[in-house]
Amino acid sequence: MGPRGITIKSDKEIDLMRQAGRVVAQAKARVRDAVRPGVTTGELDRVAEDTIRGLGAIPSFKGYAPYGMSPFPATICASINEEIVHGIPGERVLREGDILSVDVGAIVEGFHGDSAFTIGVGGISEDAQRLIEATRRALDRGIEQVRAGARVGDISHAVQTYAEGLGYSVVRQYVGHGIGRAMHEEPQVPNYGSPRKGYLLRKGMAVAIEPMLNIGGWETKQLSDGWTVATADGSLSAHFEDTVAITSKGAEILTRLDQP
Ligand code: MF3
Ligand code: CO
């Protein structure tokens, strides 16, 4: 099944998405606290899964099998250095100087939250720090565009101009997405595009905005495990993602703990 159509959520449904978002935010916080040299990505996966299940929610990535792909076997995606997204956690040990992108999703009463962050392991290079900070800010630039009456292209353009203005490339083959009862709904939310183009955003919609920035070129390659996506040129990549809903209060970031 491809991505589902756009869904307009009721206030009650948005509230379930708030709950799913808070679970994801707590799982991210627990994983972030566990990241250090010497830990394996599989250990981080268990921290995330225990947190999500402990809060009565369901990890959404585990068993996820888009058409033609093997089921994703874990709760988090753990993507290291030149890996962009969809890395499979396992026995790999994190080393000082690595950068790690963690993507987490959870389901509460049928509604999804989806979020990602990139973090340095111990001390990291200035180039890596700048890339991470730029990606975090690119996400915020995109989120700033979210309101009823804006279009998806406003988000795309804000992310792209910020990232490219700093000399980074934005990944094109993977995009953000609508989210609700399915993790991937329409519309697609690319990290490149033109203002005032694309789907019109309305109250009751929710989108996962997820810029992926590379130090080198935007081209990607698929690794032989069937899931992990890396930069074609081996350059470092960072990824941040939040689930954002348009509610009666305006744009609400659902996957951060510090939101009111
Ligand atoms: N946030 C990711 C995305 O939107 C979800 C990971 S896909 C999975 O593509 F297969 F790993 F679950
Ligand atoms: Co996503």
| pLDDT tens, residue by residue, 36-57 | 999 999 999 999 999 999 999 9
Q: What is the 3-class SS of the chain, one letter each residue?
A: CCCECCCCCCHHHHHHHHHHHHHHHHHHHHHHHHCCCCCEHHHHHHHHHHHHHHCCCEECCCCCCCCCCCCCCCCEEEEECCEEECCCCCCCECCCCCEEEEEEEEEECCEEEEEEEEEECCCCCHHHHHHHHHHHHHHHHHHHCCCCCCEHHHHHHHHHHHHHHCCCEECCCCCEEECCCCCCEEEEECCCCCCCCCCECCCCCEEEECCEEECCCCCEEECCCCCCEEECCCCCEEECEEEEEEECCEEEECCCCCCC
CATH assignment of 3-253, among 3.40.50.300, 3.40.640.10, 3.90.230.10, 3.40.50.2300: 3.90.230.10
Q: pLDDT at position 1, please?
A: 40
The pocket around ligand 1, CB under 6 angstroms, is made up of 61, 64, 72, 77, 86, 103, 105, 114, 116, 177, 241
Shortest-distance atom of ligand 1 to CA 241 = 1
> How much is the pLDDT for 4?
65
Looking at residue 258, what is its pLDDT? Answer: 78
Residue percentage of the chain with pLDDT more than 70: 98
Residues of the chain with pLDDT under 70: 1-4, 259-260
pLDDT at 3: 54
**Ligand 1 atom closest to residue 74's alpha carbon, by position in its atom list:** 11
Ligand closest to Cα of 62 equals 1
